[in-house]
């Protein structure tokens, strides 16, 4: 599952994922939610490029955009079978740059930092955590994209592929986003590569040491909140 992410990495770090400059300098965004726009790297006839796409994939055949909130994620194991995703998996793959993503778990009230002793309590709160790479300033998540013209103006949309959680992530959720290794991004985006056998290995769970977790402020629970102090 990946329902919220943040992008606060410098532009040059994001650009290195595709070796292509961004059309404009991105502003730091601490709380990107479904149905919002974000940068995604895609392949075009002229080569890879960055585009602003809306999170929540709408297939070309959809009559309206009501399904977008349910297609922010696609299970990698079944994407080839799902009508909403199967064509995009073969022809329209994307890489979504993120500094990190958020996940929640229930914790007793009164819990402080990751290393504080948990106070005994029958009440729990939904506590958010930020997950990032200890080595990479920006991660490339495997995604799919489509252009939907049902509203008149073409609308580019995307979804993030997920896989089984590794041992580390299972402390929070049984799913995690598919994190592409930098050396695999070119293969992932290659539109001539329609071999599912070549794509599956790229969607494996990340190694257990690929991520670190940090407890963040519950201010992030509000979609509208964009302050950097969520990490204070």
Mean pLDDT by groups of 10 residues along the chain of 232 residues: 94 97 95 97 94 97 94 97 96 97 89 46 86 97 95 92 98 97 96 90 97 96 92 84
Domains of the chain: which residue ranges? 5-231
For position 122, what pLDDT does the model report? Answer: 62
Cα Rg of the chain (Å, integer): 18
For position 117, what pLDDT does the model report? Answer: 43
For position 110, what pLDDT does the model report? Answer: 63
For position 112, what pLDDT does the model report? Answer: 52
- From 15, 103, 146, 178, the catalytic residue: 103
For position 120, what pLDDT does the model report? Answer: 47
Alpha-carbon dihedral angle through residues 11, 33, 53, 148, given to the nearest 10 degrees: 180
* Number of Cβ within a 10 Å radius of residue 78: 10
Judge whether 2 counts as a catalytic residue.
yes
Give the number of C-alpha atoms closer than 13 A to the C-alpha of residue 5, restricted to the C-beta side.
Answer: 28
| Residues 62, 148 contacting (CB under 8 angstroms) | yes
Report domain 5-231's class. alpha beta
Judge whether 178 counts as a catalytic residue.
no
- From 2, 15, 146, 178, the catalytic residue: 2
pTM here? Answer: 0.93
């Amino acid at each position: 599952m990946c329902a919220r992410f943040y992008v606060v990495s410098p532009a040059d770090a994001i650009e290195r994922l595709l070796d292509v400059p961004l059309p404009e300098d991105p502003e730091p965004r601490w709380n990107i939610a479904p149905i919002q726009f974000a940068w995604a790297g895609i392949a075009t006839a002229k080569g890879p490029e960055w585009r602003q796409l809306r999170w929540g994939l709408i297939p070309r055949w959809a009559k309206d955009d009501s399904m977008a909130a349910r297609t922010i994620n696609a299970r990698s194991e079944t994407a080839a079978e799902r009508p909403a995703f199967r064509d995009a998996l073969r022809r329209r793959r994307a890489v979504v740059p993120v500094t990190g993503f958020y996940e929640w778990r229930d914790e007793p009230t009164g819990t402080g930092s990751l290393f504080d002793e948990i106070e005994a309590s029958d009440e729990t709160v939904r506590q958010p955590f930020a997950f990032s790479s200890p080595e990479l300033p920006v991660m490339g998540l495997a995604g799919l994209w489509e252009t939907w013209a049902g509203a008149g103006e073409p609308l580019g949309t995307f979804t993030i592929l997920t896989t089984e959680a590794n041992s580390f992530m299972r402390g929070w959720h049984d799913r995690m986003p598919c994190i592409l290794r930098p050396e695999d991004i070119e293969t992932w985006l290659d539109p001539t590569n329609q071999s599912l056998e070549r794509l599956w290995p790229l969607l494996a769970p990340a190694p257990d040491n690929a991520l670190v977790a940090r407890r963040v402020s519950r201010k992030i629970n509000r979609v509208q909140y964009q302050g950097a102090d969520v990490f204070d």
